[in-house]
A and B are shown apart, each in its own frame.
Chain A
Amino acid sequence: MNLEEFFNMGGYAFYVWSSYGIALLVLLVNIIAPLRQRNKLLNKIADTARRQARRNA
């Protein structure tokens, strides 16, 4: 099979590749979202702790 045939998908290129593209996008977003949320949470918690320490000092 040559590369052009592969990308052409027997004339169904749009349908096949858009399906796989959307799937990749959705699956990646689901990995990135909790990573970002974790960083955000830890920063927020550290901020609060620092503010509390300053108030106590």
Chain B
Amino acid sequence: MFNNFFHRMASPKHFYGLAGILIPWLAVPCLLLTLAGLYYGLVKAPPDYQQGDSYRIMFIHVPAAWMSLFIYIVMAGAGAIGLIWRIKLAEVVAISSAPIGASFTFLALITGSIWGKPMWGTWWVWDARLTSELILLFLYLGVIALNNAIDDKRTAARAVAILALVGVINIPIIHYSVEWWNTLHQGPTVTKFDKPSIHLSMLIPLLLMAVAFKLYYAFVVLMRARCEVLERERNSGWVKELAEKT
């Protein structure tokens, strides 16, 4: 029975319907948390004693950077599941994650650059953190390009999964880059073992935005996955029926 349940859940038709129900339930809390995060981050939190108000870029920059790593791990994990167990839905999730991951990586880089100009006096330095994050962007773009280059969806998914898995080596490099190398980028203030060295008034909006971004990824990946399912299943009866109704 258990097995049956999973098979039914993973059937494209069932997934399409379930995702459609889930999307608003994820999108509305995401919007509310974003508004709360913006309020606490832009209005309530005091200016930083060294950086003034410029540090408020952090509330976008840091959650976006976290998401860039998180989505990559999800993408590579889903890719591996698709590769090993040939589960179509895992392939769909992997490929649907790539453009969202690329977007967050782009955001982390561009907001870091905009933050770097007033604080470091430069838009860009080739330090370890920035360079490895730029490589992450290229990995995402590589995944998207490779998927587009191969016509057969299932062959493409296999190729993409292998590329994504090879690229996983970059993830610990990004995470530990600020500890392994002496860089211009500051070290971690939240994800370290002793107490976070950030005041609660700044930690609250940061975490609100982090959760909001997670929810954002969840509903946007479902939206993209639905499109991918439609395209893959375009010859099946239920998709034609759905198309004729619109």
Contact = CB atoms under 8 A, between A and B. Distances in A.
Interface of A: 1, 6, 9-12, 15-16, 18-20, 22-23, 26-27, 29-31, 33-35, 37-39, 41-43, 45-46, 48-49
10 contacts: A9-B56, A12-B56, A15-B54, A16-B57, A19-B115, A22-B107, A23-B60, A41-B230, A42-B243, A46-B246
B55 to A, nearest CB: 9
A6 B118 CA distance: 18
B220 interface: yes
Interface residues of B, number: 37
B208 to A, nearest CB: 15
A49 B235 CA distance: 9
Nearest to A13: B53
Given A10-B53, A15-B57, A26 B243 contact: no
Contacts of B107: 22-23, 26
Interface of B: 42-43, 47, 52-54, 56-57, 60-61, 64, 99-100, 103, 106-107, 110-111, 114-115, 117-118, 216, 220, 223-224, 226-227, 230-231, 234, 239-240, 242-244, 246
B118 A15 contact: yes
A18 B243 contact: no
What DSSP secondary structure best describes chain B's contact surface? helix
Given A12-B52, A34-B226, A45-B234, A19 B242 contact: no
A44 to B, nearest CB: 8
Contacts, number: 94
Nearest to A29: B103
Interface of chain A: mostly helix, strand, loop or mixed: helix
B114 A15 contact: yes
Contact of A1 (B43, B100, B243): B43
A42 B52 contact: no
A42 B246 contact: yes
Contact of B106 (A26, A31, A33, A42): A26
A2 B210 CA distance: 28
Contacts of A30: 99-100, 103, 220
